[in-house]
């Protein structure tokens, strides 16, 4: 059984199904996605969700709200939502 954090051995990237699941959990409007991509790029050097470290991807799946809160606080601290 393939887990969400399994990597494609040929590319070293996350499997497409895993990235799609992450996108369902944290995706949405373009502004939010831009904040998320900027955050993972600065924090982990990942170009996109395919390159997110497996431990981080697992944590996002387990607690997506906490991940989105961390992104908001790091990327847009002036927003008081």
Q: What is the pLDDT of residue 79?
A: 58
Q: What is the pLDDT of residue 80?
A: 59
Q: What is the pLDDT of residue 78?
A: 65
pTM for this prediction: 0.63
Render pLDDT for 22-67 as a digit per residue (tens, 0 to 9): 777 777 777 777 888 888 888 889 888 788 888 888 888 788 888 8
Which parts of 1-81 fold into alpha helices (H)? 16-26, 30-44, 54-62, 64-75
Spatial separation of the C-alpha atoms in residues 13 and 78, rounded to whole Å: 33
Residue 78 DSSP class: T
Residue 72 has pLDDT above 60, yes or no: yes
């Amino acid at each position: 059984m393939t887990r969400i954090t399994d990597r494609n051995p040929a590319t070293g990237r996350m499997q497409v199904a895993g990235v799609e699941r992450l996108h369902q959990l944290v995706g949405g409007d373009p502004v939010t996605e831009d904040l998320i991509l900027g955050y993972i790029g600065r924090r982990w050097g990942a170009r996109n969700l395919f390159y997110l470290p497996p431990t981080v991807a697992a944590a996002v799946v387990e607690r997506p709200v906490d991940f989105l809160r961390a992104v908001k606080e790091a990327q847009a601290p002036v927003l008081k939502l």
